[in-house]
Each structure stands twice: as structure tokens, then as C-alpha cells.
Structure 1
């Protein structure tokens, strides 16, 4: 059966890569973002891959627009099977250089955008008692880093919102599922279009993964939504484990290295666009696509992802091996 899928932030980065992956399945896709150039290009890719595209240019911080979008999708494409929350914006800056208005805006898009979207689509999903919502998260949902207080705060908030909502759905014995995918550093255009007050061009903290790695993880999560969350990349695993056991040491390390590791060493273009208030691909802008400026440094492989997706099989195989070894030892001891 053809899936109906909605992706927010579909015009670029992870959202753009996710739309391509679903399109390869022949899905009917509703594409949400503010940037019309990026949305039009994404829609063309969807159709070329064999999917159906409905373009919905809107701001996820506008809850009324999101509710109207849900109604339109269900009317034109059919009942929504999967909703993927990706849209965000951010400010690269020391906290005390961010204005209250900028902080509010970043939070409204990056956190409340997830809340409003989930709130709108959850109503028809619960009425049908089926559907899946995937939150694209980050290792920064657990571990805050300098220069990204608004983004880290939003990801932490999404994590808490996700956990609480999941508990409520379990209580209701609902067949609607929510899951979250915690991402590593990804080579997306965000580092060329978020508001930045850094002297040098911003970069993801290495190691850097291509957006297709993230998209593959999102599709797997959509197909297996009963699991509460997925970790993508060995760096995410290391960060989350490290934050659990040595958070104070990580504070010291990030205070020392967290500024330089997020900058390329090349001066930032003074005319670089930013998408805090308006889409970067505005009247004089361009389609940024899925990839950022770090193709030469990003990897398209994440071996950890295979282990994450097959953890039950591996645990079962390990348990069987241990049980077999115990049987052999027991027999030897009985001789």
C-alpha cells in the first residue's frame, strides 16, 4: 500500500534526503518548509524518483498553518501514515550576544514547530488508531555544546516532550507510535544559512556524516517505531555514553575545544544569508539541496547504524553463543 508521508524542513539537509528515500518507495509526499525554491526542487526529485509530491510552503511556528496543512494533505493525498519532524533554525553565537527576539524565534521553530506539528497530526492518527511520528533529534538532545544554546535547548525540550508523549500513548494503548532519531554531525546546508556571529565559517563537529546516512536511519525508525529512540553514528554513541558518566569532564573539554571545533578556520562570508526570519532561498537565493559544504570530509558509511538496526538479532546470537558455551563447559565438568 502506498504510504502518505509528511516531512517538515523538506527543502534542504536531512529533510531533503528523507524525501528522496521515501520517494524511492513510491510514497505520496507532502513537503513542508518556508523556502519555495528548495521545495520546488525537492518536489521535482520526488517525482523523478517515482513518488508524488505536494508542496506546502509554510512556517511550522504557525500552528494554524500546520493544522490547515494536515487537513489539506488528508484531503488531497489521503490519511497520513508517517510524519517526520525535521524543520529547525539556530543561532551560532555566545549566549549573551543573542537577543531575546532571536532566541524566541529559534525556539518557536526548532521546538514548538515539533509540538505544533505533532499536535495537529496526532488528532486524525488517534481517531484511526494508527500512524507514526518520527522526531529527528541530535546527540545535542542530551549533551549541550557552546555557541548553540538555543538549538541545544530546543533539542533537550523535544526529548522531554517525546518521552512524555510516548508514555501517554502507552497508557492509552494506542497504536500511534512516536520515536526519535538522535543524529551525529551531518553535512547539511545549515552551516551556510543559520544566523552566525562567529568570525569563521561554522562547521559540524567532526566526524561528519552525509545526510543520506541520517535519511536511512529515519526510514528504518519509521518502519520500526515501537523503539523509543535510535542513535546514529559512533560519535553519537560515544557522546551520549560520555555525558552519562563524565558530564563534568565533557564540560571542561567543550569549554576548551568546543569553540574551535565548530569553525573551519576560514573567514565567514559577510554576505552569507541566514534563515532565522526568512528562508535562505528567498527571491535572490538558491536551492541549497541536501548536502552542505563538507562533502570532502563527510562519510557516507556508518557501521554503527547496522548494529543499531540489528541489535535484537545480535543480542540473541550472543545469548545463544553464551548458552552454548555454558553447555559445553557443563559437559566437560561432568566428565
Structure 2
């Protein structure tokens, strides 16, 4: 059975991905800061048929990430797949985010991926095998307001990964790195995130369940030769709309991007999990899902298309046409 390391495994996409690999009977190394969520995730992996290993670590610290890799190989043997998924954010206009907060977002959401990739490559390169999956976002190509720190970090992940991919190709390595670009996903981050909004933050609809994202991550790990995978039709449409008419999209998001990321309910405390985990104890565990189950999609037609090359071409064409149609509506 493969050995899979998942950072950000205590909740959201990472948690759903851990469950998926548990069903496969994999050896799953669960990494996050919050012990409560990790312990609950470990129980789920074991119940589903996998073997879990809990590793409490802050991915912004390269020494802690290196210790995770050492523990994983000591317990289970060579790491086959390393999935970087941990992140942090602040929902606020740029000028209301402090330098310390911006630094922290970048250290976790960007450098956390760099640290995880470094630890994985240290072991994979000498063996000339292994796969690294970066859990990205459509916001890594199309930024939106109120999430400048997160968007900047996800853009950085794309740039870093592209450079690394070329280096691996240059040396003829059989180690693969790919990116799974995500849509809006119903995760607990919108209850945990630090914010300075007047209303509760939310993902921009349409929203997908974390299981949709997890299937996209696993598919990318199983087929890592492609540069990146788009999860969810909205991811494809957003990226193509940005490529075709970025200035128009800027104006549209300036009009709609603030309200579309907030509900009408009272916001959280505002403290969030930026510097401390929100799930320190088992009672704090929220699982994979956030607060938007009633409006989230459990399936995506695009995830079916991506498994069939011919259908993928048709699906991408349809998404491009959809993006063009959307641009025309925005311009009218």
C-alpha cells in the first residue's frame, strides 16, 4: 500500500482526502497543528481500512516538516505521495491586514508548500520516484478582493511549482509534481478564518463539497504527468474568463466580489486560527465540512470529464464558451 503524507489533514480538503486514501487502505500520515482534528481524522482513516500516523506540526517551520518526513518513513517506509494542502488566510481589505498577519499567511500558504516539497524531494529524488501534489486554487490565477494574502500565496505556489517542474524535466527525473486547482469549497475555514468583515465570510458560489476536491487531488496523484488539473467547472470558467477579458473581470469583481463573499449572518469572533489552531481538543473538531452543506454540490460534471481525454477537450471547449458567454453578460 502507498504511503501518503497530507498536510492540512485535520479539516476541509485535507481531511476528505485522508478519508479517501483510508478507503484505499493506504498508510496515511496526517499533518496539521490542531491535535483534535488530527486524532479524529486518524480514527476515520483506521475505520476505513487505512493505517494513520498523526504528526502535529506547523508547516511554516522547515525543521518540523523535515521531522514529519523522517517519522513517516520510519513508520511506513518510503513516501510515495506528498500532498501539500495546509493554508491560512485573513478576510479583510489589504490595508486592514497587518504586516505580521501577511507574513504568517505567506509562511503557511506559500512557504509551507515549499517546505513540504523540499522534504519530499529529499527522499524521492535519490529513489527517482514519487509524486507531489500542490492543492492550488482558481484564485492562484484569478485574484479576488478581501483575500489578497491568500491569492498572492497561491500565485506564488504556481510560479514555484512551474520552475520546479522544469528542473525535474531537465534532469530526466521520474519524480512528478502537479497542481490540483480548486473551486470554492465548503470547508471549516470560513468559520475559523481571521476576518475584519461586517458579515460572516463565505466561499463564492457555486460551492462544492470537500469530497469533490479530494477526488480531484487523488486523481492528480494517480496521473501526475499533467502540469495541472482543474477541479470544478467554475475553476475552468474563471481561469478562461481571466485569460480572455481580465480587465472586464476586474470591474465585475469590484462590483460583486465583496458581497458575494459574505452572508447575512453575524461574523465569527475575528480571531481565527492564523496563529493558533482552532481545534486544539477533540471537542473542537469540525470534520471536513463547513457551514454551507445546504448549498454545496456533492458532484461536478467536470470531474467526470477530466477522466476521459476526448471528453476533457469537449468540456474545456464548453467551459471556454461559458466564459465567453459570461463575459458578454458582464459587458452588457
Cα distance change of structure 1 residues 143 and 314 upon mapping to structure 2, 3 Å threshold: closer
Task: Kindly state the Cα deviation for residue 70 of structure 1 after the two structures are TM-superposed.
Answer: 0.6
Question: Quick check: 2:202–2:261 contact (8 Å CA) kept in 1?
Answer: yes
Question: Quick check: 2:195–2:271 contact (8 Å CA) kept in 1?
Answer: no
Question: Quick check: 2:73–2:79 contact (8 Å CA) kept in 1?
Answer: yes
Name 1:193's counterpart in structure 2. 192
Task: Kindly state the Cα deviation for residue 3 of structure 1 after the two structures are TM-superposed.
Answer: 0.4
Length, aligned pairs only: 314
Question: Quick check: 1:192–1:273 contact (8 Å CA) kept in 2?
Answer: no
TM-score, with structure 2 as normaliser: 0.92
Question: Quick check: 2:35–2:282 contact (8 Å CA) kept in 1?
Answer: no
Name 1:109's counterpart in structure 2. 108
Q: Partners in 2 of 1:220 and 1:115 — Cα distance?
A: 22
Question: Quick check: 2:39–2:282 contact (8 Å CA) kept in 1?
Answer: no
Give the SS at the match of 2:82: strand
Give per-residue Cα distances to partners, 1:142-173, cap 9 Å, x unaligned: 00000000000000000001111000001111
Return the match for 1:278 from 263, 276, 296: 276
Range 304-313 or range 148-157, more displaced? 304-313
Output aligned runs, 1:1-335, within 5 Å.
2-269=1-268, 271=269, 274-283=272-281, 286-312=284-310
Task: Kindly state the Cα deviation for residue 311 of structure 1 after the two structures are TM-superposed.
Answer: 2.0
Question: Quick check: 2:10–2:287 contact (8 Å CA) kept in 1?
Answer: yes
Give the SS at the match of 1:133: strand
Task: Kindly state the Cα deviation for residue 285 of structure 1 after the two structures are TM-superposed.
Answer: 6.0
Task: Kindly state the Cα deviation for residue 272 of structure 1 after the two structures are TM-superposed.
Answer: 5.8
CA RMSD, Structure 1 to Structure 2 (Å): 1.3
Give per-residue Cα distances to partners, 1:60-93, cap 9 Å, x unaligned: 0010011111111111111000000000000000
TM-score, with structure 1 as normaliser: 0.92
Task: Kindly state the Cα deviation for residue 315 of structure 1 after the two structures are TM-superposed.
Answer: 5.5
Runs of 4 or more, structure 1, over 3 Å off, are: 312-316
Give per-residue Cα distances to partners, 1:238-266, cap 9 Å, x unaligned: 10000001000011010110000000111
Task: Kindly state the Cα deviation for residue 309 of structure 1 after the two structures are TM-superposed.
Answer: 2.1
Question: Quick check: 1:192–1:272 contact (8 Å CA) kept in 2?
Answer: no
Question: Quick check: 1:193–1:275 contact (8 Å CA) kept in 2?
Answer: yes
Which structure has the greater CA radius of gyration? 1
Name 2:328's counterpart in structure 1. none
Task: Kindly state the Cα deviation for residue 314 of structure 1 after the two structures are TM-superposed.
Answer: 6.0
Q: Partners in 2 of 1:22 and 1:159 — Cα distance?
A: 25
Q: Which runs of 5+ in 1 are unaligned?
A: 317-335
